[in-house]
């Protein structure tokens, strides 16, 4: 009952500025709706109830791109929020915006809030950290692609659902067998560029772009038209033409097909867990993302997708202290462990991962730790630390277009990727020029 009263009071404080008169207000803009939106709101309520100096006001500003745009437009109008959620693709844009963002390590140092950069998982932290080791934004929701298996579909096609699917060679055999067994949709994917190019490159330890995938400077050039990527796309193209890989769209449209039980295999983010576990009326497995044995003897690590929290410039010192407290609260072990278990996003701190393991969650929900293991198995290399490319949202659009040309058979993988690299480099040069 007491808890209800507290959260009720927090809601009232959030809704009426008068009640929040004595408290410092902190605005937090995010991109979550539905279940994720509710979970974020809960976290904010908990924070507001946990102390009386600050009140965080959370608002939903549309999808990832729209939220970033809202933040940028607000900054131009001098109305920026304190904390803005930016998806990983927008990272380079934010990093280049000196004078618009205040690095998280500075905010934390000034606020005196509890903050230990080493508590965060390396592969997650690396994405948002400068080459000097300064953390610029706070990792919030991070996921990584895994392979989802519809066990019922395997059985219906007369294929052993327990077969080893750790390499693409094995997946290729499974696709043949599934197709021969009458499966109409053996493989479907979400986020094709993120999974089949960006993560593919990191996982096989080949560069996606020069200059450490853009981490070392703005003068980076795309290199995803290398032999490893082309070999993968050539196989995918053959599967697409034989009806073994079904293309459904640029985002996560394939999720609907998989959740409805229409497809046997699905490459999708580990964060697909919330939706799949809620909707799937079939037995499913989570497996590590496959790799090509012919390309790498063992997989490196995959990289993350998701978003981080950026602190915007232009507010009072007192408000930044509140921001520091809030970010520190979000990184705390209990909050992170609950977030990880509820959503399938990765635990961003090692402690949250351990707490989840200790609670027995992984034993009760087999497969939920696959993503964590896949990301943390190896120390990230220059090729697998992440990507830091300007205009990356647009570059992904170009990659999507060229991949569509491959799936439809209009272009060979080499032609399509050469063209994507050339077009993408044009945008990188513009970004370099804009941020010189």
Interacting residues with another protein (CB under 8 A): 65, 68-69, 72, 75-76, 93, 96-100, 247-250, 253, 256-257, 260, 262, 391, 393-394, 397, 400-402, 404-405, 407-408, 410, 423, 426-427, 430, 433-436
**Structure-token match 């690299």, residue found:** 421
Cα–Cα dist 149/178, whole Å: 12
Closer residue to another protein, CB minimum distance, 29 or 292? 29
Closer residue to another protein, CB minimum distance, 25 or 262? 262
Least distance in angstroms from the C-beta of 331 to another protein: 26
* Close Cβ partners of 227 (under 8 Å, ≥ 6 residues apart): none
**Cα 193 to Cα 129, 403, 417, distances in angstroms:** 23, 8, 11
Partners of 312 in the β-ladder: 101
Closer residue to another protein, CB minimum distance, 134 or 184? 184
The pair of three-digit structure tokens given for residue 149, joined into one six-digit string: 């298996």
Least distance in angstroms from the C-beta of 150 to another protein: 15
Closer residue to another protein, CB minimum distance, 109 or 434? 434
Closer residue to another protein, CB minimum distance, 34 or 360? 34
Least distance in angstroms from the C-beta of 100 to another protein: 4
Least distance in angstroms from the C-beta of 240 to another protein: 9
Cα–Cα dist 287/283, whole Å: 13
Closer residue to another protein, CB minimum distance, 23 or 435? 435
Q: Which helix (H) or strand (E) holds 10?
A: helix 2-15
Burial class of residue 211 in the structure, from the number of CB atoms within 10 Å of its CB (0-12 exposed, 13-18 middle, 19+ buried) = middle
Alpha helices, H only, 254-360: 254-259, 273-279, 317-330, 333-343, 350-358
**3-class secondary structure per residue, 360-429:** CHHHHCCCCCHHHHHHHCCCCCCCCCCCCCCCHHHHHHHHHHHHHHHHCCCCCHHHHHHHHHHHHHHHHH
Closer residue to another protein, CB minimum distance, 212 or 402? 402
Q: How many CA atoms lie within 13 A of 400 on its CB side?
A: 17
Determine how β-strand 101-102 pairs with β-strand 305-312: antiparallel
**Structure-token match 């006001």, residue found:** 57
Q: Which of 261, 291, 66, 275 is CA-nearest to residue 195?
A: 291
Closer residue to another protein, CB minimum distance, 255 or 353? 255
Cα–Cα dist 314/320, whole Å: 10
Least distance in angstroms from the C-beta of 364 to another protein: 32
Least distance in angstroms from the C-beta of 111 to another protein: 24
Closer residue to another protein, CB minimum distance, 266 or 362? 266
Least distance in angstroms from the C-beta of 314 to another protein: 11
Cα–Cα dist 42/20, whole Å: 18
Closer residue to another protein, CB minimum distance, 5 or 434? 434
Least distance in angstroms from the C-beta of 76 to another protein: 5
Q: Which of 232, 231, 131, 238 is CA-nearest to residue 186?
A: 238
Least distance in angstroms from the C-beta of 64 to another protein: 10
């Amino acid at each position: 009952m007491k808890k209800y009263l507290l959260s009720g009071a927090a809601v009232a404080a959030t809704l009426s500025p008068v009640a929040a008169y004595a408290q410092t207000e902190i605005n937090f803009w995010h991109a979550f709706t539905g279940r994720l939106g509710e979970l974020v709101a809960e976290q904010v309520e908990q924070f507001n109830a946990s102390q009386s100096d600050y009140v965080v006001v959370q608002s939903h500003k549309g999808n990832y791109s729209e939220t970033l745009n809202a933040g940028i437009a607000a900054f131009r109008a001098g109305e920026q929020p304190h904390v803005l959620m930016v998806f990983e693709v927008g990272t380079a844009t934010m990093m280049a915006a000196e004078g618009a963002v205040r690095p998280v390590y500075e905010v934390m140092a000034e606020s005196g809030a509890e903050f230990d950069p080493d508590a965060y998982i390396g592969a997650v932290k690396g994405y948002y950290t400068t080459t000097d080791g300064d953390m610029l934004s706070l990792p919030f929701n991070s996921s990584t692609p895994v392979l989802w298996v519809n066990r019922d579909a395997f059985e219906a096609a007369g294929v052993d659902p327990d077969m080893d699917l750790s390499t693409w060679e094995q997946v290729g055999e499974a696709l043949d067998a599934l197709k021969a067994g009458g499966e109409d949709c053996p493989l479907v994917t979400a986020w094709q560029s993120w999974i089949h190019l960006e993560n593919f490159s990191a996982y096989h330890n080949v560069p996606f772009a020069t200059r450490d995938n853009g981490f070392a400077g703005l003068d980076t050039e795309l290199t995803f038209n290398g032999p490893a990527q082309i070999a993968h796309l050539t196989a995918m193209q053959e599967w697409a033409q034989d009806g073994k890989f079904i293309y459904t769209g640029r985002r996560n449209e394939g999720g609907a097909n998989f959740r409805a039980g229409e497809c046997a295999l699905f490459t999708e983010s580990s964060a697909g867990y919330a939706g799949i576990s809620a909707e799937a009326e079939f037995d499913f497995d989570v497996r590590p993302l496959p790799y090509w044995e012919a390309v790498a003897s063992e997989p490196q690590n995959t990289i993350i997708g998701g978003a981080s929290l950026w602190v915007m410039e232009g507010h009072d010192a007192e408000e930044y202290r509140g921001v520091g407290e809030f970010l520190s609260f979000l990184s705390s072990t209990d909050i992170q462990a609950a977030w990880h278990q509820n959503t399938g996003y990765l635990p961003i701190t090692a402690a949250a991962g351990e707490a989840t393991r200790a609670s027995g969650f992984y034993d009760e929900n087999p497969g939920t730790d696959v993503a964590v293991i896949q990301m943390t198995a190896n120390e990230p290399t220059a090729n697998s630390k992440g990507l830091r490319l300007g205009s990356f949202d647009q570059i992904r659009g170009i990659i999507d277009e060229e991949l569509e040309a491959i799936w439809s058979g209009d272009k060979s993988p080499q032609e399509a990727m050469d063209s994507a690299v050339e077009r993408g480099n044009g945008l990188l040069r513009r970004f370099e020029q804009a941020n010189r």
